[in-house]
């Protein structure tokens, strides 16, 4: 798919033409970073301030300081790719684990039966709990991902299907059809698709009733509500280093967020879901970069072998030994 022009994320909380649940009064800026580990892991911080605290603490978390500041400096999510070594030979394998860090009072029960304590004092504790399992799925000729989120009321599933020959995804968040659309290089906008626009998750009879073609898509998506922006930092994952890989900007509505909260407190549900989708996008971008790098290295090795062979033949001819 071709790229579309990027737009700024705007506050539209006073726009009567926008549904109340999409009238954003605040922009959250999350940071996605890599972390040194045996497995390939990525971290997602709830704010840029939290990420800066993490760096200032020597890229460590789980300290008494974290408990004093509502988990500031502790990542909101940890994304682990346990199948990274297997995926080198089989790119179709897709099962990722996303853990969530939760700050709460010690008087409250653990948020999940398999929660582990990261740190605690007499009044508060930070838990690490299983939050989301991501599996690769197939629907007809399309591939995609199924996100299974743990909630106190049970498992909530969100499906996302991939457009052909791209990293663009369509998904259903609540009542809204949304789509990740590439804007430049590896930057993506999350658009709320208008009712007239086609989604890969539409039932066949609904899809057939909507206009098709790239011109129709551009027409209906041009002025679509922008929910989030994924801004790639242009960095590649290195096992021995921790670095910022992307910035995720998300619009949040006033009745779902607390502007005075920071750290791990008061993160709207859909912001959490979007962040988990962005972590998968980050993994896919990094995987593509690794493949491209291996391809360049293999091409370079083949070129060097050819060059050395030619030199050896020329030397033998000159010496009369060929």
What is the DSSP-derived secondary structure letter of residue 113?
Answer: T
pTM score: 0.84
> Is a pLDDT exceeding 90 seen at residue 243?
no
The span from the CA of 264 to the CA of 102, in Å, is: 7
Mean pLDDT for the chain overall: 84
| Alpha helices (H) along the chain | 48-56, 64-68, 84-87, 204-208, 214-221, 269-319
How far apart are alpha carbons 74 and 195 in whole angstroms?
Answer: 39
| Out of 44-58, 103-117, 216-230, 291-305, least confident range | 291-305
Q: Is 190 helix (H, G, I), strand (E, B) or coil?
A: strand
Query: Phi, psi (5° rounding) for residue 255?
Result: -80, 0
| Contact assessment for residue 120 and residue 101, using Cβ atoms and an 8 Å cutoff | no
* Tens digits of residue pLDDT in 39-78: 678 999 999 999 999 999 988 888 888 998 889 999 999 9
């Amino acid at each position: 798919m071709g790229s579309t022009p990027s737009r700024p994320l705007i506050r539209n909380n006073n726009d009567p033409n926008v549904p109340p649940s999409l009238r954003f009064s605040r922009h959250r800026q999350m940071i996605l970073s890599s972390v040194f580990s045996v497995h390939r892991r990525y971290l997602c911080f709830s704010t840029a301030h939290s990420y800066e605290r993490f760096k200032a603490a020597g890229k460590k978390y789980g300290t008494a300081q974290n408990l004093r500041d509502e988990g500031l400096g502790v990542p909101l999510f940890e994304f682990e790719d346990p199948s990274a070594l297997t995926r080198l030979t089989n790119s179709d394998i897709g099962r990722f684990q996303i853990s969530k860090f939760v700050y709460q009072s010690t008087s409250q029960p653990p948020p999940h039966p398999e929660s582990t304590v990261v740190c605690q004092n007499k009044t508060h504790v930070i838990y690490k709990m299983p939050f989301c399992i991501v599996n690769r799925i197939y629907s007809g000729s399309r591939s995609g991902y199924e996100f299974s989120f743990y909630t106190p009321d049970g498992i909530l599933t969100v499906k996302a299907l991939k457009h052909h020959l791209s990293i663009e995804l369509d998904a259903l968040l609540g009542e809204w059809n949304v789509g990740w659309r590439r804007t430049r290089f590896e930057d993506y906008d999350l658009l709320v698709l208008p009712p007239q626009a086609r989604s890969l998750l539409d039932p066949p009879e609904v899809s057939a009733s909507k206009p098709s073609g790239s011109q129709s898509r551009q027409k209906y998506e041009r002025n679509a509500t922008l929910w989030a922006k994924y801004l790639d930092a242009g960095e590649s994952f290195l096992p021995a280093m921790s670095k910022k890989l992307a910035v995720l900007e998300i619009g949040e509505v006033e009745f779902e967020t607390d502007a005075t909260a920071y750290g791990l407190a008061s993160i709207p549900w859909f912001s959490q879901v979007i962040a988990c989708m962005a972590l998968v996008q980050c993994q896919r971008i990094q995987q593509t970069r690794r493949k491209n790098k291996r391809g360049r290295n293999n091409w370079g090795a083949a070129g060097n072998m050819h060059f050395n062979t030619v030199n050896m033949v020329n030397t033998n001819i000159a010496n009369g030994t060929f």
